[in-house]
Structure 1
Amino acid sequence: MARGKPIYEGKAKILYEGPEPGTLIQFFKDDATAFNNQKHAILEGKGVLNNRISEFVMSELERVGVPTHFIRRINMREQLIRHVEIIPLEVVVRNVAAGSLVKRLGLNEGDALPRSIVEFYYKDDKLGDPMVSEDHITAFNWANPQEIDDMMAYALRVNDFLSGLFSAVGIRLIDFKLEFGRQYEGDMVRIILADEVSPDSCRLWDARSNESMDKDRFRKDLGGVVEGYREVARRLGILRDESERSDATGPVLVASNDGANA
């Protein structure tokens, strides 16, 4: 599928004009970044794994009633997605104390929280993506009260589903970040899940060892970043076991049901 002109490049993805009105092509890069791009590296194969993991998760979420921008995977690094107006907020759901929550509240990393917590952050790298309240969101017209309710409801539904999905394959869902967008259909506007759901946007720990299987391996210089992502894909049934791999370098991915190129 021929790409149109690039319209946006982020830290880990590039968006191109899609083949039809209302569509985009989302390209997954191998770039890894942390601390608002102060730390950067190219990790061969990361984009391929994120593409397939996000495809799998988005497809499963659609089946449980969470609308997403995902249409289909095009190839190893590209997806066809719906064009949405991105809401400038990151919606973070936390189940276990980790990351900035530990620093802010003096908690012990790994402690289970009394209940799942939803937080909002304003998307602005120059400001360090500051945490904001619902009052900030409505006062500055980033989203209206109904949109806030929709995002929170979807975020908690995603949390319930992903917690069960990952638990079934021996992974703890510690926390994760979501982004949402507005899809315009005539006079109607609906909120749908956008961006990606992958080890780039989730904290995932092995249920037995508590070993990180996500981007914290890059943030904390633990090494084995792509290997951690590959293990997540393997457990989800996206990646074949090492014994079945036909090459020594790149990941071997199981074909998805949509018939897209593997």
Structure 2
Amino acid sequence: MARRKKIYEGKAKILYEGPEPGTIVQYFKDDATAFNAQKKDVIEGKGVLNNRLSEFFMNGLNGIGVPTHFIRRLNMREQLCRACEIIPLEVVVRNYAAGSLSKRLGLEEGMPLPRPIVEYYYKDDKLGDPMVTEEHIAAFNWASQQDMDDILALALRVNDFLSGVMMAVGIKLVDFKIEIGRVYEGDFQRLVVADEISPDSCRLWDVETGQKLDKDVFRRDLGSLTDAYTEVARRLGIMPKASTNVTKPTLIN
């Protein structure tokens, strides 16, 4: 496929103009970052794994009627998506105490929460993606009240889906982050799950051992990130169970 015009490059992905109006091509890089890009590395094969894992989750959501920007995978590192206007919020759903929630409230890591907690963070790397409330979102017109009602409903549906899928393969969904985009169809607007869903954007722990199978492996120097992501892919059936992990993963087409 001929290389298209670059639209945007982030920490983990590059966006290119799509082959048709209203589409983009999303390219998954091998770059790994943590602590607002203060820690960086290149993990060979990470982009391939995240492309396939995000495809799996997005297809699953589309299949149960949760709209996403995902159209289809193009190759090992690229996928075709609907172009959308990203709402400048990171939507975080938490099922167990971990990360910044544990630090803010002094909660023991791994403590089950009484119900899923949904948090919002303003997307701005220079500011460190600060946490915001619905009052901030309304005051600065980042999203309408109807948008926020829809975002909350989408986030909880994604949580139900991901929690069930992961628990079925012995993985606990501790928390995750999604982004929401606006897709315009004439005068009609609808909200869709955008960006990616992968171990880069989720906390995933083995149910029995508590082993971390997400980007905390990189954040905390707990071992091989590709080993962790490969294990998630293997359990979900994206990789053959008998395969051994290699730097460049062999994935099922």
Could you say whether these structures have the same fold, taking a TM-score greater than 0.5 normalized by the shorter chain as the test? yes
1:191 is matched with 191
Q: Which whole-Å CA distance do the structure 2 matches of 1:39 and 1:168 have between them?
A: 33
Mean CA deviation greater in 1-10 or 102-111: 1-10
1:180 is matched with 180
Residue by residue over 1:34-63, the C-alpha shift from the partner in whole angstroms, topping out at 9 and shown as x without a partner, is 011100000000000000000000000001
Amino acid corresponding to residue 138 of structure 2 in structure 1: T
- Superposition RMSD on alpha carbons, in Å? 1.0
CA contact (8 A) 1:3 1:19 kept: no
Shift of 1:3: 3.1
SS in 2 for 1:198: coil
CA contact (8 A) 2:226 2:247 kept: no
Q: Which whole-Å CA distance do the structure 1 matches of 2:247 and 2:99 have between them?
A: 31
Q: Which whole-Å CA distance do the structure 2 matches of 1:59 and 1:212 have between them?
A: 25
TM-score, length basis structure 2: 0.98
CA contact (8 A) 2:50 2:198 kept: yes
CA contact (8 A) 2:27 2:78 kept: yes
User: In 2 relative to 1, CA 106–248 (structure 1 residues): closer, same or farther, beyond 3 Å?
Assistant: closer
Amino acid corresponding to residue 19 of structure 1 in structure 2: P
CA contact (8 A) 2:239 2:250 kept: yes
Shift of 1:248: 4.8
Amino acid corresponding to residue 252 of structure 2 in structure 1: V
Q: Which whole-Å CA distance do the structure 2 matches of 1:90 and 1:229 have between them?
A: 22
1:117 is matched with 117
Q: Does residue 236 of the first structure (1) align with residue 213 of the second (2)?
A: no
CA contact (8 A) 1:3 1:18 kept: no
What are the within-5 Å matches in structure 2 for residues 82-231 of structure 1? 82-231=82-231
Q: Which whole-Å CA distance do the structure 1 matches of 2:73 and 2:5 have between them?
A: 19
User: In 2 relative to 1, CA 248–204 (structure 1 residues): closer, same or farther, beyond 3 Å?
Assistant: closer
User: In 2 relative to 1, CA 173–248 (structure 1 residues): closer, same or farther, beyond 3 Å?
Assistant: closer
1:252 is matched with 250
TM-score, length basis structure 1: 0.95
CA contact (8 A) 1:14 1:29 kept: yes
CA contact (8 A) 1:122 1:131 kept: yes
1:7 is matched with 7
Shift of 1:170: 0.2
Amino acid corresponding to residue 186 of structure 1 in structure 2: G
Q: Which whole-Å CA distance do the structure 2 matches of 1:22 and 1:181 have between them?
A: 13
Shift of 1:176: 0.1
Shift of 1:254: 0.8
Structure 1 runs of 4+ with >3 Å offset: none
1:259 is matched with none
Q: Which whole-Å CA distance do the structure 1 matches of 2:106 and 2:243 have between them?
A: 45
Shift of 1:244: 4.0
Shift of 1:65: 1.1
Residue by residue over 1:198-234, the C-alpha shift from the partner in whole angstroms, topping out at 9 and shown as x without a partner, is 0000000001001100000001111211100000000
CA contact (8 A) 1:68 1:193 kept: yes
Q: Which whole-Å CA distance do the structure 2 matches of 1:44 and 1:127 have between them?
A: 29
Percent of pairs identical after alignment? 69
Give unmatched runs, 5+ long, in structure 2: none
Amino acid corresponding to residue 82 of structure 2 in structure 1: R
